[in-house]
Structure 1
Amino acid sequence: MNKKLNIFQQVRELEGWAAIAFSATLLERMLPNYNLFCEVTEFADPAQYRKTLNSIWEWLAVPKAKINFSAQLEKIEELVPDASNFDNYGVYPAIDVAMSMSATILLIQGEDPQGAVVVSKLSQGGVEAFIEASSGEPLESQEIKQHPLMQWEIETQQELLLLLKEYPKGAETCKKLKALATAEGMSNIGIEI
């Protein structure tokens, strides 16, 4: 639990560009969950989420880029699945992606200064829920913490926090962050990219 609290505390201390870059990197890891959900259920075309995340990366790489994030927010909010309309588990990770995308845009717009913490918690919470759902039985919190997916999630967020302290903001750092997010070829819950 200590590591988890420690991460949330460190994320809470991120500001501006670093907080948004942290959120975008976690979103990059989560996005395949939304894509797979759309593919399986034919709920929506997931391309809008990719476009919006690309806009966030563009804004991070070129902060003077003119992007209408209010319009982006509207477009992604139209594509949030309603859990009561689906009977498959995939709707929950898809909702996590949608909520994380909204939180990141609100962070960019200065409307939610804790947006990065929201994304961090949704990503970790999504991994925890997936571990429980796939085990088929209730697990102790220690068992969840020891699970390889949760260990990977915590390690990734810690590595990301270190990278953001080391590297200056800009396009080169964005490339490194994207590489970190996709290096394993899997989403945060282990779905192949």
Structure 2
Amino acid sequence: MLKKLTVFQEVRELEGWQAVAYAATLLERMLPNYTLFCEVTEFADPSLYRNSLDAIWDWLSSPKAKINFTAQLEKIEMAVPDVADFDTYGVYPALDVAMSMTAIILLIQGEDPQGAVVVSKLSQGGVEAFIEATAEGDISDAEIKVHPLMQWEIEVQKELLVLIKKHPHSGSTCKLLKAFATEPGMTNIGIEIN
């Protein structure tokens, strides 16, 4: 449990572009979970969320970019899945993406200064829930902590903190962070990205 707390504490201390960049990078790893859910269930057009995340990256790359985040928020709120409407596990990671997207936009708008912590916890919680859902029988907290997916999640978040603190706010840093999220070719819950 100590490892988790230190990551969240460090994320809590991020401010401004660093907090948004941290959250956007984690969301970049999670987004394919939403896309896959939409493709399988025909729930919504996943490009809505892709476009919103691209707008966040644009805003990060060039802070003078004029982006109507209130309109973005309205669009994504129309495509939030209701877990009661689906009997597939995929709705949960999809909902994590929707909640993360909302948290980042509220962070940008200054309405939720802890938006990066919200996304950090949703990503890690999503991994935990996935491990529990795919385990054969009951699984202890200790077993979850040492599970390769959870170990990877914690390492990614720690490495991301180092990257964000080491690099200046720039378009090239945004490219680096996006590549960091997509290069492993897997989502936070281990689903392969084509």
TM-score (norm 2): 0.99
Residue of structure 2 in register with 1:9 after alignment: 9
What SS does structure 2 have at the residue aligned with 1:87? coil
Structure 1 residues 29-59: Cα deviation after superposition (integer angstroms, max 9, x where no partner)? 0000000000110101100000000000000
Residue of structure 1 in register with 2:179 after alignment: 179
Structure 1 residues 1-36: Cα deviation after superposition (integer angstroms, max 9, x where no partner)? 111000000000000100000000000000000000
Q: Name the CA distance, whole Å, in 1 between partners of 2:170 and 2:147.
A: 34
Matched, 1:103 2:114: no
Q: Name the CA distance, whole Å, in 1 between partners of 2:155 and 2:94.
A: 22
- Write the mapping of 1:1-193 to structure 2, written as runs, cut at 5 A: 1-193=1-193
Structure 1 residues 132-168: Cα deviation after superposition (integer angstroms, max 9, x where no partner)? 0001422111100111110110000000000011000
Structure 1 residues 78-126: Cα deviation after superposition (integer angstroms, max 9, x where no partner)? 0000000000000000000000000000000000000000000000000
Task: Point out the more displaced range, 52-61 or 131-140.
Answer: 131-140
RMSD of aligned residue pairs (Cα, Å): 0.5
Q: Name the CA distance, whole Å, in 1 between partners of 2:103 and 2:192.
A: 25
Superposed displacement of residue 187, structure 1: 0.4
Q: Name the CA distance, whole Å, in 2 between partners of 1:137 and 1:170.
A: 47
Give the aligned residue type for 1:34: Y
What SS does structure 1 have at the residue aligned with 2:45? coil
Which structure 1 residue ranges, 4+ long, deviate > 4 Å from structure 2?
none
What SS does structure 2 have at the residue aligned with 1:130? helix
Q: Name the CA distance, whole Å, in 1 between partners of 2:173 and 2:4.
A: 25
What SS does structure 1 have at the residue aligned with 2:162? helix
Superposed displacement of residue 76, structure 1: 0.2
Structure 1 residues 47-76: Cα deviation after superposition (integer angstroms, max 9, x where no partner)? 000000000000000000000000000000
Q: Name the CA distance, whole Å, in 1 between partners of 2:58 and 2:66.
A: 10
What SS does structure 2 have at the residue aligned with 1:132? helix
Q: Name the CA distance, whole Å, in 2 between partners of 1:114 and 1:7.
A: 14
Unaligned runs of at least 5 residues, structure 2 = none
TM-score (norm 1): 0.99
What SS does structure 1 have at the residue aligned with 2:190? coil
